[in-house]
A and B are shown apart, each in its own frame.
Chain A
């Protein structure tokens, strides 16, 4: 059974349709990369999957232990308050709240989970620091650690590398890949940076005037992108990180 199955979705706001006839499914352990031009509706799809906006028609079914409420996500434009006084640890812990219902305080398990998420993101030493004083890349990792507290199974990432320099971008991709490969987290990632993100993906969803959904190989065959070229970019990128 798939974790997410979308059938004939129409996305949009009010009367305005943005994407129609969208069908795809995501299985446990997949790494789905969503690509498309600016304004094609990628973020809208994400918000719809999260239940923040309603689909105009069509259905979304969750399964395999995933519910609409057990998805961790990293938004494209964070609504987070830029000058909010919050320590890294407080923010990461707040990812546990969805599961807690009305329980007023964090449990031992919550705290352990937060500590583990911070470790995975390499931000344990930042845990007492103030969020607003961190660099963009550090902030992204904090929000990713928070997302990990909200889920064990499925992560939705909306342009997680926007605004990061090439080196930090590469690190971010490595982190996400290790979550996918080693921890078995399903990843759905929106990206503009096709050349660099494609190598990691198992499936591609292209939305826009023509919709494509399939494995990476099918996408490459269809678009005639050269696999060797992609491997080369990826290799160069890895070297960049290794040199550190």
Chain B
């Protein structure tokens, strides 16, 4: 046990570990905030699709040889988020089909690009695997990545706090919001853009395939136990941050992959909260 703490103390003196913790906590916080909206507005499909788009965008950035791929990936993902939202309203291509088209397409193109332009040296399947499932890259973050992550997180949290009531309203009953003069279209657009931002930021932590888990599990867990929007939101944020910390420390100490460890922690908490929810319901 002492050994464990000694190792932990050893790691906590390293700046790259501190960076990873800061980034991990911020990402966990941001990704949990819009979870409820995503689940209930059936935006979880959009979230899933966008994470694949982000993967494709990363492949393009890799092909172009960009060292800082975040700005490009962010732009492409935000544009796609807006497109998906517009397409969702278009009756000709059903929303779900459109999302499937874009997401699977992006995945295929991304992998193809990485293959064609593979510069020989690197190990391709390792690269692909780490973009899909997240990697140890969380421990090799550049200062630029860390700052980018901090800035984007602040924007996301600020947006959420300032638009909290509006997000509630358009999620709960969009027609009523529209009919009573709230700018539902605008808020939907903003929500889609922020989801894109969250996805791009989260990709660094858990990789593109696991992002949905990071977004959805804390919200679902909180919804099992709490009954008001505010309490669910606060609980989801706490659950998400705690799970991220558990996952990060476990992966540092046990050498497990960061992303999947965090998601495993989220799943465990979900199981626990489901149990609590079932028990309190029976006793109520």
Interface residues of A (CB under 8 A from B): 50-52, 68-73, 75, 78-81, 83-87, 90-91, 93-95, 97-100, 104-106, 128-130, 133, 146, 150
Contact = CB atoms under 8 A, between A and B. Distances in A.
B180 A86 contact: no
Chain B at the A interface: SS class: helix
B115 interface: no
A86 B165 contact: no
Contact of B179 (A50, A81, A87, A106): A50
Contacts of A91: 172
A98 B182 contact: yes
A87 B182 CA distance: 21
Contact of A98 (B162, B168, B180): B180
B172 A94 contact: yes
Given A104-B164, A106-B165, A85 B229 contact: yes
A93 B180 CA distance: 13
17 contacts: A70-B180, A72-B180, A75-B176, A80-B176, A81-B40, A85-B222, A85-B228, A85-B229, A87-B230, A90-B168, A91-B172, A94-B177, A97-B165, A98-B181, A104-B164, A130-B227, A150-B176
Contact of A52 (B163, B179, B222): B179
Nearest to A150: B180
B226 interface: yes
Given A85-B222, A86-B229, 7 more contacts: A51-B179, A84-B229, A85-B228, A86-B172, A87-B228, A100-B165, A104-B164
Contacts of B229: 84-87, 90
Nearest to A74: B176
B274 interface: no
A97 B177 CA distance: 8
Contacts of B231: 85
A69 B180 contact: yes
B175 interface: yes
A85 B181 contact: no
A84 B175 contact: no
B65 to A, nearest CB: 42
Contacts of B161: 104
B19 to A, nearest CB: 32
Interface in B171-229: 171-182, 222-223, 226-229
Interface residues of B, number: 31
A185 B61 CA distance: 60
Contacts of A52: 175, 178-179
B175 to A, nearest CB: 5
B33 interface: no
A226 to B, nearest CB: 38
B171 to A, nearest CB: 7
Given A75-B176, A85-B223, A91-B172, A97 B166 contact: yes
A79 B184 CA distance: 14
Contact of A73 (B36, B162, B179, B228): B179
B176 A81 contact: no
B179 A85 contact: no
A11 B181 CA distance: 21
Nearest to B228: A87
Given A98-B182, A105-B165, A84 B40 contact: yes
Contact of B180 (A71, A83, A106, A128): A71
A203 to B, nearest CB: 22
Given A75-B175, A81-B172, A104 B182 contact: no
Interface in B135-182: 161-166, 168-169, 171-182
A130 B179 CA distance: 24
Contact of B173 (A50, A51, A71, A78): A78
Nearest to B186: A102
B184 to A, nearest CB: 10
Contacts of A87: 227-230
Give the residue among A93, A97, A105 with the most B Cβ atoms within 10 A.
A97
A87 B176 CA distance: 17
A34 to B, nearest CB: 17
Give the residue among B168, B173, B182, B231 with the most A Cβ atoms within 10 A.
B173
B232 interface: yes
